[in-house]
């Protein structure tokens, strides 16, 4: 499972794919998700860590 930084980087790359149309709903969703997660990185890292542990235990 990718770590939080890798997931955020992927989200950033996906967001850039849609950046030519800032009114596009997909771009807006990706942009808001990226911004929210980057501003709340500590909580996102903790979430990803817990999910990785759950996946490892299954």
pLDDT recorded at residue 58: 85
For the chain, which residues make up each domain, given as ranges?
4-57
Is 2:53 a contact under the CB 8 Å cutoff? no
Strands (E), 1-58: none
Quick one: tokens of 20?
């030519």
Q: What is the pLDDT of residues 1-58, one digit of tens each?
A: 899 999 999 999 999 999 999 999 999 999 999 999 999 999 999 999 999 999 999 8
Has this prediction a pTM greater than 0.75? yes
Residue 14, CB-side half-sphere exposure with 13 Å CA sphere: 15
């Amino acid at each position: 499972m990718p770590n939080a930084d890798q997931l955020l980087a992927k989200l950033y790359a996906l967001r850039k794919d849609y950046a030519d149309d800032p009114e596009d709903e997909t771009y807006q969703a990706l942009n808001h998700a990226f911004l929210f997660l980057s501003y709340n990185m500590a909580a996102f890292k903790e979430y990803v860590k817990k999910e990785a542990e759950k996946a490892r235990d299954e």
